[in-house]
Amino acid sequence: MTISRVRIKDEQGAKAMGKPIGYYVTLEVPRLKEKDPDLTEEVSKNLADELERMVEIPRDATVLVVGLGNWNVTPDSLGPKVIEKLIVTRHLIQHMPGQFNTKKGIRPVCALAPGVLGITGIETGDIIRGIVEKVKPHMIIAIDALASRSMERISTTIQIADTGVYPGSGVGNKRMGITRETMGVPVIAIGIPTVVDAATMANDTLDMLIGQFTRQATPGSDFYKLLEELDKDEKHKLIREVMRPFVGELVVTPKEIDALIDNAAKTLAGGLNLALHPGIEYHEVSTFLQ
């Protein structure tokens, strides 16, 4: 497992990286898709550490965890599956403050899997905003399955950022982000790539092939020049055109996607439970992950 941490501090950095200002952590775990209780434990603990590094959460802060995505579409069900495995305590602390005590390292955690726009007819941002106004959490953690831009990342990386998240791509043009600006509280986004869109994958493969051809071509030859001149954007545009009948419908994904999502959900829930309830041992946490 390798961990990379990147902080983009200003607009200049944001431009250079092509990402908003913020703090980004990536856990690369090549064996993430394997069922291995020891690995689940190790990654959970590292995830908890990174969350604690990223943001300071007061001992008695109420945290709202949001599981984005669609229950009924396997590659999209990561968020709701994490919610299922969380140790949710807000209601217990409210009703039995003696027994469930924030001093003992149990924070008031609540959670929601709001569904997707196509099923609810309501902007996900509006649903969460409505709940934020009732629950008044100290922060939001949003979990989502990601469409990766690279085949290598599928279910091998956990991506964390303090920049919030923009759910789905819907009928309207301007989707409401789930960010500190719209929600009024910090929003941490955690995601795992579960699919690559088919056009991206075709593009990646072509790039790898061109790399091979270039190494084999005689420098100075027509072919060499042609390969050098293939403009990146042009090429991607051409691919999209050729694949138009399929793009947006087809995704590239591991065949064992059901098992993979299950495993990834355990790892994320494990890390969240540890980070949010420092008073609970991993041993006890693991009973919630089964």
Binders in 229-248 for its own copies, by CB under 8 A: 238-239, 242-243, 245-246
Task: Kindly tell me which residue out of 171, 181, 220, 232 binds its own copies, with binding defined by CB under 8 A.
Answer: 171
Task: Kindly tell me which residue out of 55, 61, 198, 280 binds its own copies, with binding defined by CB under 8 A.
Answer: 198
Site for its own copies in 124-163 (CB under 8 A): 126-127, 129-135, 151-152, 154
- Verify binding: residue 49, its own copies, rule CB under 8 A: no
Comparing CB distances to its own copies, the nearer of 7 and 105 is: 105
Which amino acid is located at 217 in the chain?
A: A
Using the structure block, give the residue that is written with the tokens 């790892």: 267
Angle at 118 between CA 117 and CA 120, to 5 degrees: 60
Q: Report the candidate in 72, 73, 31 with the shortest Cα–Cα distance to residue 195.
A: 73
Half-sphere exposure of 196 (CA within 13 A, CB side): 19
Which amino acid is located at 287 in the chain?
A: T
- Verify binding: residue 122, its own copies, rule CB under 8 A: yes
Task: Kindly tell me which residue out of 45, 84, 166, 236 binds its own copies, with binding defined by CB under 8 A.
Answer: 84
**Which residues are bridge partners to 90 per DSSP?**
none
206 near 235, Cβ under 8 Å?
A: yes
| Chain centre distance of CA 275 | 17
- Verify binding: residue 72, its own copies, rule CB under 8 A: yes
Task: Kindly tell me which residue out of 8, 51, 82, 83 binds its own copies, with binding defined by CB under 8 A.
Answer: 83
Q: What are phi and psi of 288, to 5 degrees?
A: -85, -10
Task: Kindly tell me which residue out of 209, 228, 234, 281 binds its own copies, with binding defined by CB under 8 A.
Answer: 209
- Verify binding: residue 16, its own copies, rule CB under 8 A: no
Rg of the chain taking only CA atoms, in angstroms? 21
Shortest Cβ distance from residue 12 to its own copies (Å)?
35
Comparing CB distances to its own copies, the nearer of 128 and 161 is: 128
Instruction: Give CA–CA dist 152/29, Å, rounded.
Output: 11
Using the contact rule CB under 8 A, the part of the chain among 16-24, 44-52, 252-260, 273-281 near its own copies is 252-260
Instruction: Give CA–CA dist 163/165, Å, rounded.
Output: 7
- Verify binding: residue 228, its own copies, rule CB under 8 A: no
- Verify binding: residue 184, its own copies, rule CB under 8 A: no
Using the contact rule CB under 8 A, the part of the chain among 11-19, 49-57, 160-168, 249-257 near its own copies is 249-257
Residue 252: CB partners within 8 Å, gap ≥ 6?
151, 154, 195, 196, 197, 198, 201
Task: Kindly tell me which residue out of 31, 223, 228, 281 binds its own copies, with binding defined by CB under 8 A.
Answer: 223
Task: Kindly tell me which residue out of 120, 169, 279, 281 binds its own copies, with binding defined by CB under 8 A.
Answer: 120
